[in-house]
Chains A and B, each alone.
Chain A
Amino acid sequence: DTGVSQDPRHKITKRGQNVTFRCDPISEHNRLYWYRQTLGQGPEFLTYFQNEAQLEKSRLLSDRFSAERPKGSFSTLEIQRTEQGDSAMYLCASSPGGNEQFFGPGTRLTVL
C-alpha cells in the first residue's frame, strides 16, 4: 500500500513531556498538511508544506508546536511541554495539488 503513513499510531505521554510524530506522504505528492481532530469535532487545519517550504500556519499552532519537512518528503510535528489540551488525533494528509487531500490513519495523542 502506498498511502499516507503516520507513526506512531498511538502515543501516551505525561504533561510537560515533548512528543514528535512522523508522516510519510504518498511519494509523488509535493503538498503535505497537518490537521488536529478533537473528540466530536471535525479536523482543524494546523499547517501546510509545499515541498520543504512551510507556507501556512494556523493560529492553532502555538509556539510549542513546530513542524518540519526537511527534504520535501516526510514531515515531523513536534509538541513541546505537552498539555492536557493537546490530547487529540493528529492527522496528516498529502496532495499532488488541486485541494484533493489524502489522509493518513492519524496519531492519537493522550496527555496524562
Chain B
Amino acid sequence: AQSVTQPDIHITVSEGASLELRCNYSYGATPYLFWYVQSPGQGLQLLLKYFSGDTLVQGIKGFEAEFKRSQSSFNLRKPSVHWSDAAEYFCAVGRFGNEKLTFGTGTRLTIIP
C-alpha cells in the first residue's frame, strides 16, 4: 500500500526567507507525486506534479520540488516566501492504473513579518 509522511506539522518562516517542506513516500514502483495547497476553508489547489522525466519540477507561485528516488522524497521548496503563502500544504502519491490519491497529513505554514 502506498503512504505519505509529512514529518513537519507546523513550520514558521519569516517573509522573504527560503522554505523547504518535507515529504516522504512509500511505494514499490515509480510513483506519481503531487503537492497541493489549501487555504482555510477552501479546496485544494495543485502546485506541481511529478510523473516521470526531469526530477526537478517547477510549479505555480514560484514553487519547485525535487524527486529523489534514493531517499523516497519529494520535498517542496521556494526561495523567498510571501505572506500570501501561508496555508496548509499537502503531499500526495498516486500510481499508474490506480485512480486514488493518498495524502499526507499536511504541513501548516505560518509566515511572520
Chain A residues with a Cβ closer than 8 Å to the other chain, count: 28
Nearest chain A residue, comparing its CB with the CB of B104: A42
Contact B99 A41 (CB under 8 A): no
A48 at the B interface (CB under 8 A): yes
Chain B 92-113 interface mask (CB, 8 Å, partner A; 1/0): 1011100111111110000000
Interface hits, B37-67 → A, CB 8 Å:
41-46, 49, 51
Residues of B within 8 A of A104 (CB): 43
Q: Interface size bucket, B side?
A: 20 to 34
Residues of A within 8 A of B34 (CB): 99-100
B90 at the A interface (CB under 8 A): yes
A85 at the B interface (CB under 8 A): no
CB distance from A39 to the nearest CB of B (A): 11
Contact B100 A103 (CB under 8 A): no
Complex Cα spacing A93 to B99, Å:
11
Contact B36 A103 (CB under 8 A): yes
CB distance from B57 to the nearest CB of A (A): 13
* Contact status of A43 and B105, CB under 8 A, knowing A48-B99, A56-B100, A103-B36: no
CB distance from A22 to the nearest CB of B (A): 15
Contact B43 A42 (CB under 8 A): no
Residues of A within 8 A of B46 (CB): 100-102
Contact A42 B32 (CB under 8 A): no
CB distance from B5 to the nearest CB of A (A): 11
| 13 interchain pairs, CB-CB under 8 A | A6-B43, A31-B99, A33-B99, A42-B104, A42-B106, A56-B99, A98-B51, A99-B34, A99-B49, A99-B51, A100-B34, A101-B101, A103-B44
Which B residues fall within an 8 A CB radius of A?
A: 4, 32, 34, 36, 41-46, 49, 51, 90, 92, 94-96, 99-106
Question: Nearest 5 A-B pairs (CB), nearest first?
Answer: A42-B103, A45-B100, A103-B43, A103-B44, A99-B94
Which A residues fall within an 8 A CB radius of B?
A: 4, 6, 31, 33, 40-45, 48, 50, 55-56, 58, 91, 93, 95, 98-106, 108
